[in-house]
Amino acid sequence: MLSRIAEALFWIGRYVERADALARLLDVYLQLLVEDPVIDREATCRSIFAAMGAQHDGVNDPDAVLRVLLWDSTSPSSIAFALETARENARRSREVVSTELWEGLNTTYYMVSNCQLSGPRPADGFRLVRERANLITALADQTQSHDDGWQFIVLGRSIERIDMTSRMIQMTTYATAPSASWLLTLRACGGAHAFTRTYRAIESPRAAAEFLLQDRLFPRSIAYSLGQAAACLEVLDPRQRRVGFGGDAARIIGRARARMDYLSLTELLSDLAGEMSALQSMCGEATEAVAHRYFEGAVAPEWLGGPL
């Protein structure tokens, strides 16, 4: 596969996942700002910007959050920018992208361009993004051959999911009410229902942390996403099945996976902010290693200001 095609597919996976995760996060926290009359609005908006590493003009209010992270297509941190860039990567790799996947990305781009994200009800925009991102993900899985190209899409999606989930978890370290913050994070990750079924409605910060960090069945957990990324790299470089990890990306992902598997939950929680920052740095290092190995001449772009 041409390196430019592999690179484009990888970033389709990342940008679509980024748009979906941002929509989930903003929907949950901005709804909280509306419903809770005693919440510190400025502190909450500041924590959103900090977790996302977003560059902004210093104003910490809901309007600034919507502008920088939702509809301003000139902001590299925004959902609009992510969907536009995903569509551009699909255009660059049009010869290997299925017709259905291209139409899904192209239609989403035009829906976003027609200001459907900047209406009077932000929740409608978040719902639109989630639905379109889920549709695009399903089209990628159901209409693309599961060859190396599809592996790059899933690899990008998995690395982005690790990064975004770690940022959402890191937001709990800023909270004055950790229990409520963990429940918000579960909702933002789309895991509230699965968590309740798994833990029989026992809502505790420790259980929520265990679920989002170490659960191997929930698709948005750190452990699951690390396993998915490792599986993609194994398919892309089958030599490692016999002689061990043959590439830096596999080693980087493997070390993070082993840490998540073998550290106790107590050890992870003792420095949760540090562990999440390390995961964000790992995602950047893994992306650079993938770019060096498969994307000839490519430099992995940074986004949202990097790890905290």
Least confident span in 58-67, 215-224, 241-250: 241-250
Cα separation, 308 vs 304, in Å, equals 10
Tell me the pLDDT of the chain averaged across its residues. Answer: 89
Average pLDDT of 143-154?
Answer: 97
User: Which band of pLDDT confidence, cut at 50, 70 and 90, is reported for residue 82?
Assistant: very high
53-65 pLDDT tens trace: 887 777 888 889 9
Question: What's the pLDDT score for residue 73?
Answer: 84
21-47 pLDDT tens trace: 999 999 999 888 888 878 888 888 988
User: Which band of pLDDT confidence, cut at 50, 70 and 90, is reported for residue 121?
Assistant: confident
**pLDDT beyond 90 at 234:** yes
